[in-house]
Amino acid sequence: MDLYAALRPLLFRLDPETAHNLAFWLGERVCSWPHLPQPQHPDALRRTILGLDFPTPLGLAAGLDKGATLLPLWQSLGFGHVEIGTVTPRPQPGNPKPRLFRFPEAGLILNRMGFNSEGAEVVAARLRNRPAGLIVGGNLGKNKETPEAQALDDYRAAYRLIAPQVDYVALNVSSPNTPGLRNLQAPEALKPLLVGMLEVRKEMGLERQPLLLKLAPDLAPEDLDAIVEVAVTAGISGLIATNTTLDRGVVAEPLRTRVVAKGAGGLSGAPLKAKAREVRRRILASLRGRLPLVACGGLGSAEDIQGALDDGAALAQIYSALIFEGPALITRIHQGLVAKEF
């Protein structure tokens, strides 16, 4: 029996953030079990990317487990890697509530959470007890009140605490919910940020740890090309595409009117799929194999994941689809990838 399918009607009657907190409370109880089952992934799914051995290309995207509280559960459910965060250097509450909305009929989520974070010190302490055998990435961002000109200081501060506790680090400069953050994607702002982060990585003796950059889906094609060149020239390890979109045009009417009425925020889920794939294909064409790309944005089935891999992505991540379909989705994706039946 799919327990999540049985609980979903109850959870979806609740405010989305209340439901999220309840689900995490239950998840923490599960994580306290002494012997959580450990999945056995077929060898066909294994791959070595970024110098790391992934048991499966399927991972959990950043944004769901912001504080690294449910890592044993994600491992037990079968994820090959988990990206925690976004983690800010100092604690912050995020944007005012309500700030999270779901539209189940379209598999769509709107969020303007605004990097609600316990802060890097708290998350780093929790990561010291992370489960063995699970690849964990740390997604980092700046605090809301930090000026763009001082963003590097924030990323470096978070990195110093989080990087020693994770397998790779992702720099989030693409959330639409922190004012001015996406301006850091401009090549003239991005180059000194990446160079500065590579310097602190070297200072800490972590040169072999992958450093990735997560991009927005709302960039013009020529801007994507420029960002790729900056990333390659700087010497970072890879890219993640994409974050949420501000483009309400991905939502068909009459739902679009309802979405617009909810106000600001980024959109994720099935309606983002086509736009995110178009952006990824442009990035992959510009990369020409020089850096690996992690696919994210609108993925929700084995067919979606295989399509991203066929396009040239090295790994793939899900988030919104997990909210609507539950943990059984992970098994369905793995079965589909192995059987190549979509």
∠ Cα 198 200 201 (to 5°): 60
180-216 pLDDT, tens per residue? 999 999 999 999 999 999 999 999 999 999 999 999 9
Q: Which of 117, 175, 237, 286 is catalytic?
A: 175
pLDDT above 80 for 342: no
Amino acid residing at 93: P
286 in Cβ contact with 224 (< 8 Å): yes
What is the mean predicted confidence (pLDDT) over 322-330? 96
pLDDT above 60 for 71: yes
Average pLDDT, whole number, for the chain? Answer: 97
- CA atoms of 181 and 189, how far apart (whole Å): 11
- Fold (topology level) of 3-339: TIM Barrel (3.20.20)
Q: What is the pLDDT of residue 341?
A: 74
What is the mean predicted confidence (pLDDT) over 163-171? 98
pLDDT band of residue 7 (cuts 50, 70, 90) is confident
Beta-strand ranges (E) seen in 67-134 are 81-87, 100-103, 108-111
- CA atoms of 243 and 258, how far apart (whole Å): 22
106-145 pLDDT, tens per residue? 999 999 999 999 999 999 999 999 999 999 999 999 999 9
Residues 6 or more apart in contact with residue 118 via CB below 8 angstroms: 66, 67, 91
- Does the pTM surpass 0.95? The reply is yes
Q: What is the pLDDT of residue 1?
A: 55
* Residue 33 token pair: 């079990």
What is the mean predicted confidence (pLDDT) over 269-282? 98
What is the mean predicted confidence (pLDDT) over 49-61? 98
Secondary structure (3-state) at 302: helix
Secondary structure (3-state) at 150: helix
Say which DSSP state 92 is in. B
Q: What is the pLDDT of residue 301?
A: 98
Q: What is the pLDDT of residue 329?
A: 97
Catalytic (active site) residue 175: yes
Burial class (CB in 10 A: 0-12, 13-18, 19+), 9: exposed
pLDDT band of residue 59 (cuts 50, 70, 90) is very high
Say which DSSP state 87 is in. E
